[in-house]
């Protein structure tokens, strides 16, 4: 077999049993790898109705056929589980050497179930699996955990770990690898913590051969050249931080917990200002020629903090919580990384709490004396620490905005900014109507990455302030495109370097695996993957009313900037949702007809579970 | 934006707001340009390079006639400018920023 090992490693942490199971060729061909293969494994491995923190909930790490080929941006892996935030399928991506090393151990996917009877460091060295005592690492930050494990096992060892937040089951805890790369959205780190698993350390010696190395080298060299051209300019220069000032000007920068879409103090925390005043260096994932990561450092007299910074962290820990001090934003982002927290969910949940405090629904007694107002730098940092340790108010906020608002009640659900329990990313849906639809229908909850629907809004193709039924087709196409990217797995920042993603990727897939693949088959694989994700959610209790947006979005208009007066009515959202269901060939209730399941060749999977 | 130009001179003064690397290489956040009311994208590109030569090769094509695919122009924060013409009015603002939207 080329490109794949053709097997998964299944480990029960409760019993320490490990089984190497074969993967059928037709499964690999239909679901590719990454998110696609992971979705298939989740559907077939996760007991229906299981609670996310139940030991039976699988935590799955999945590589892809491209991992190990040295194609640019291909060193990526997916992490899937039933999300403790959403109760839906939870899928995240991470990158770098962990991906290549995990694949070299001899498996295409690692499926973890059970719960270790002691704090566990799982070590996989080719065929050898060990369960070491992780007690010495408990309480350590993500950076310290990785450092200590490497010091113990050798510096070629690759480590994926959780921080204090994952140990304490903060529902939006991340899994961190390779010095700060993270699978964070939907909270896989909390599930890892629930399994009493502090870290996974891997070393391998079994690379997978490719079918036609010469052809792959030629196409890979060309792709690398394109990855250094205009298609990736933004990512190579300011990185995604370039979004901050532009989004503000376009009235799409969530501010003060989505009460506004512009931030008066934007010039202090813009990507341009951060670059000029705080930039240290660029960083790359393994086998990446783009180098989007911007390492920033604080410059004030406070404790030094240095780490990666990207747009989503800058918005969630900046304008959304009203913080205009760049040093605080950097410090907060770095703190999240060290605690092992998803910066988006952390920032959005704190923004909810700040609004509660300003409206008198949380008091100083509730916050332990923190004046949790928008723009209070010290309160933001203190709150993050409390969340990571689940102390005081942090114990409530560790539950995420949906559960916290349900627990507090008194109408605070109205400004808990989440979809299906996953906190909103930095794209204001009222002034980005295609994105609004993408957020509402995503199987992952409020996710910008699984549809990239904003692409249409930031173009001349649509009027981003107006809703129309055609957004359904655009969102569907974006989702299927993203599913292919996330399954092969390519970095999304490479997407514009392709002249035709499907045709070029199909050719590359053939060179890697030796198996026939057409552009049309690859496109259909994207549809199949999204369909199976939806089927998973339906099985776990999805209802039509779950495809929606927070009440604030549907009842308040934007008060400032170029989008002043712009809103989104429920009728307009429902119209777009119907357009989406129709484009997908689903029923008006969002269910999937048997004919569609047969057409996509997933009927057999549904019938067996 | 199809309103007729109402300036007797047939030209308008517009402001260009610079973002991303365009702001950093030009060393300022705004440029003022005099443009024909019915300016084409090529007219805008020419004027931008005259005002800030460092934009050539970064945001503007090396022949100075168009935008590189890595940059976008937006009129007044509402309309993305295409090569079919801009239809400018006095006081309009053009935004020049990286076209890759994600992150």
Taking only the tens place, the pLDDT of each residue in A547-563 is 999 999 999 999 999 99
Give the ipTM of the model, two decimals please. Answer: 0.93
Confirm whether pTM is higher than 0.80.
Answer: yes
Which of B24, B81, B100 comes nearest A496 by C-beta? B100
Band of residue A231 on the pLDDT scale cut at 50, 70, 90? confident
Q: What is the CATH number of domain B11-98?
A: 3.10.20.30
DSSP states of A470-506 as a string?
THHHHHHHHHHHHHHHHHHTPPGGGGGG-SSHHHHHH
H helical segments located in A83-207? 97-104, 142-153, 164-167, 188-194
A202 strand-pairing partners? A124, A158
CA separation for the pair A151, A571 (Å, rounded) = 58
The answer to whether A240 and A491 have CB atoms below 8 angstroms apart is no
B18: tokens are: 């610079």
- Which residues, in sequence order, are CB contacts of A74 under 8 Å at separation 6+? A64, A66, A67, A287, A488, A489, A490
CB A246 within 8 A of CB A428: no
Q: Which pLDDT value is given to residue B1?
A: 41
Sign of CA dihedral A583, A588, A591, A594: negative
- Using a CB-CB cut-off of 8 Å, the residues of chain B touching A271 are 20
Q: Can you tell me which residue has the tokens 């990158």? A: A95
Q: Which residue has the tokens 């906190």?
A: A423
Residues from chain A contacting residue B102 (CB–CB below 8 Å)? 240, 448-449, 452, 454-455, 492-493
pLDDT at A351 over 90: yes
The pLDDT of residue A151 is above 60: yes
Task: Give the mutation candidate from A454, A456, A458 for the B interface (greatest B CB count, under 10 A).
Answer: A458
Asked if residues A2 and A517 have their Cβ atoms less than 8 Å apart, the reply is no
Supply the pLDDT for residue B10: 82
Q: What is the DSSP string of A367-415?
A: HTS----TT-HHHHHHHHHHHHHT-THHHHHTTHHHHHHHHH-TTGGGG
Structure tokens, B93: 């603002």
The closest CB to that of A242, out of B20, B58, B82, belongs to B20
d(CA A93, CA A72): 16
Nearest to A460 among B69, B70, B80 (CB): B80
Using CB atoms within 10 Å of the CB of residue A500, give its burial: 0 to 12 exposed, 13 to 18 middle, 19+ buried.
exposed
Mutual angle of helices A519-539 and A34-45, in 10-degree steps = 40
- Six-digit token string for A126: 């080719």
Reference A195, options A301, A257, A117; nearest CA is: A117
A294 bridge partner residues: A282, A309
Question: How many Å lie between the alpha carbon of B29 and the closest alpha carbon of chain A?
Answer: 10
Residues A487-494, mean pLDDT to the nearest whole number: 96
Least confident of A332-346, A402-416, A485-499, B88-102: B88-102
Q: Which residues of A touch B103 (CB under 8 A)?
A: 239-243, 310-312
Report helix angle A471-488 to A501-513, nearest 10: 20
In this prediction, what percent of chain A has a pLDDT beyond 90?
98
Cα distance between residue A594 and residue A92, in whole Å: 29
**Contacting residues for A292 by C-beta, under 8 A, at least 6 apart:** A235, A236, A239, A240, A282, A310, A493
A454 → closest Cβ in B70, B72, B101: B101
Give the residue from A332, A51, A313 showing the smallest Cα distance to A184.
A313
| DSSP code, position A239 | G
Q: pLDDT 10s per residue in chain B (103 long)?
A: 444 566 777 889 999 999 999 999 999 999 999 998 888 889 999 999 999 999 999 999 999 999 998 899 999 999 998 876 778 888 999 999 998 767 6
pLDDT in tens, A164-217: 999 999 999 999 999 999 999 999 999 999 999 999 999 999 999 999 999 999
- DSSP codes joined into one string, B16-82: EEE-HHHHHHHTSSEEEEEEETT--HHHHHHHHHHH-GGGBTTTB-TTSSSB-TTEEEEETTTEE--
Tell me which residue in A250, A272, A312 faces B24 most closely, judged by beta carbons: A272
Look up tokens 């579970």; give the residue.
A609
Tokens 């909810």 belong to A352
Question: How far is it, in rounded angstroms, from Cα A380 to Cα A257?
Answer: 14
Beta-carbon count within 10 A of A98 CB: 28
Optimal mutation site among A227, A240, A242, A310, interface B, most CBs of chain B within 10 A = A242
Asked whether A323 and A332 are in contact (CB, 8 A), the reply is yes
Section A75-85 average pLDDT = 98
Structure tokens at A569: 């009515």
Band the pLDDT of A305: cuts 50, 70, 90.
very high
Give the contacts of A147 (CB within 8 A, at least 6 positions apart). none
And the tokens for A453? 């629907």
Chain B partners of A250 at a C-beta cutoff of 8 Å? 74, 77, 95
**CB–CB contact A562 B79 (8 Å):** no
Q: Where are the domains of chain B?
A: 11-98
Judging by DSSP bridges, how do beta strands A7-12 and A109-113 pair with one another? parallel
Q: What is the pLDDT of residue B3?
A: 46
User: What single DSSP character describes residue A428?
Assistant: -
Burial A573-592 (b: 16+ CB within 10 A, else e): bbbbbebbbebbebeeebeb
Which residues of A are less than 8 Å from B20 in CB distance? Answer: 234, 237-238, 242, 246, 271-272
Instruction: For residue A161, give Cα distances in angstroms to A15, A69, A272, A284.
Output: 21, 25, 33, 20
Note the pLDDT of residue B2: 42
Are B88 and A252 contacting, i.e. CB atoms less than 8 angstroms apart? no
Contacts 24+ apart (CB under 8 A), A564-573: A564/A251, A566/A251, A566/A430, A566/A431, A566/A465, A567/A430, A568/A429, A568/A430, A568/A433, A568/A436, A568/A467, A572/A433, A572/A467, A573/A436, A573/A437, A573/A440, A573/A467, A573/A548, A573/A549
Nearest to residue A199, comparing CAs of A180, A181, A176, A182? A176
Domains of chain A: 7-203 (3.60.9.10), 222-417 (1.10.569.10), 432-549+569-608 (1.10.599.10)
> Residue A265: beta bridge partners?
none
């Amino acid at each position: 077999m080329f490109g794949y090992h053709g097997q998964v490693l299944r480990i029960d942490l409760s019993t320490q049993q490990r089984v190497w199971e074969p993967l059928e060729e037709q499964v690999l061909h239909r679901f590719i790898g990454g998110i696609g293969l992971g979705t298939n494994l989740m559907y077939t491995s996760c007991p229906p109705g299981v609670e996310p923190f139940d030991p039976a909930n699988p935590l799955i790490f999945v590589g892809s056929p491209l991992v190990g080929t040295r194609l640019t941006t291909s060193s990526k892996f997916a992490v899937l589980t039933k999300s403790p935030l959403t109760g839906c399928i939870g899928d995240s991506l991470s990158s770098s050497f962990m991906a290549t090393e995990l694949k070299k151990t001899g498996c295409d996917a690692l499926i973890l179930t059970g719960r270790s009877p002691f704090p566990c460091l799982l070590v996989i060295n080719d065929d050898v699996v060990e369960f070491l005592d992780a007690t010495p690492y408990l309480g350590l930050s993500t950076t310290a955990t990785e450092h200590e494990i490497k010091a113990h096992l050798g510096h070629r060892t690759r480590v994926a770990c959780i921080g204090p937040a994952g140990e304490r089951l903060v529902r939006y805890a991340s899994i961190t690898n390779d010095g700060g790369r993270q699978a964070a959205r939907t909270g896989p780190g909390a599930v890892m913590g629930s399994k009493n698993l502090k870290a996974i350390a891997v070393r391998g010696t079994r690379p997978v051969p490719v079918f036609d190395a010469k052809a792959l080298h030629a196409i890979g060299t060309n792709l690398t050249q394109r990855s250094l051209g205009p298609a990736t300019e933004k990512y190579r220069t300011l990185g995604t931080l370039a979004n901050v000032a532009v989004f503000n000007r376009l009235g799409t920068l969530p501010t003060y917990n989505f009460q506004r879409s512009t931030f008066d103090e934007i010039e202090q925390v813009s990507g341009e200002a951060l670059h000029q005043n705080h930039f240290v260096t660029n960083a790359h994932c393994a086998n990446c020629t783009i180098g989007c990561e911007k390492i920033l450092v604080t410059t004030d007299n406070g404790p030094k903090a240095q780490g990666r910074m990207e747009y989503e962290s800058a918005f969630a820990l900046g304008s959304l919580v009203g913080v205009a001090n760049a040093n605080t934003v950097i410090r907060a982002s770095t703190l999240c990384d060290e605690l092992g927290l998803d910066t988006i969910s952390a920032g959005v949940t704190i923004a909810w709490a700040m609004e509660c405090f300003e409206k008198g629904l949380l008091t100083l007694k509730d916050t332990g004396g923190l004046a949790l107002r928008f723009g209070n730098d010290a309160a933001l940092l203190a709150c993050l620490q409390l969340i990571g340790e689940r102390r005081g108010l942090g114990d409530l906020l560790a539950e995420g905005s949906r559960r916290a608002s349900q627990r507090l009640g008194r109408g605070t659900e109205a400004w808990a900014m989440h979809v299906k329990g996953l906190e909103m990313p930095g794209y204001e849906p009222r002034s980005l109507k295609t994105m609004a639809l993408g957020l509402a229908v995503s199987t992952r909850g409020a996710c910008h990455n699984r549809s990239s629907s904003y692409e249409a809004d930031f173009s001349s193709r649509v009027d981003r302030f107006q809703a129309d039924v055609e957004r359904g087709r655009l969102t569907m196409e974006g989702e299927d495109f993203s599913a292919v990217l996330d399954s092969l797995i390519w970095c999304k920042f490479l997407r514009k370097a392709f002249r035709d993603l499907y045709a070029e990727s199909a050719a590359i897939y053939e060179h890697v695996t030796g198996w026939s693949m057409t552009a049309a088959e690859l496109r259909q694989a994207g549809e199949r993957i999204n369909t199976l994700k939806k089927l998973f959610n339906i099985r776990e209790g999805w209802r039509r009313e779950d495809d929606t947006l927070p009440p604030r979005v549907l009842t308040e208009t934007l008060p400032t900037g170029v989008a002043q007066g712009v809103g989104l009515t429920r009728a307009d959202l429902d119209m777009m949702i119907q357009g989406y269901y129709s484009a997908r060939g689903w029923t008006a209730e969002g269910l999937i007809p048997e004919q569609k399941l047969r057409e996509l060749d997933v009927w057999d999977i549904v019938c067996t579970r | 934006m199809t309103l007729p130009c109402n300036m007797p001179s047939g030209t308008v003064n517009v402001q260009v707001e610079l973002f991303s690397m365009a702001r950093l290489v030009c060393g300022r956040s705004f440029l003022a340009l005099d443009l024909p009311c019915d300016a084409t994208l090529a007219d805008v590109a020419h004027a931008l390079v005259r005002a800030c030569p460092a934009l050539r090769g970064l945001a503007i094509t090396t022949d100075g006639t168009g935008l590189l695919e890595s940059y976008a122009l937006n009129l007044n924060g509402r309309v993305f400018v295409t090569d079919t013409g801009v239809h400018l009015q006095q006081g309009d603002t053009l935004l020049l920023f990286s076209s890759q939207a994600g992150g």
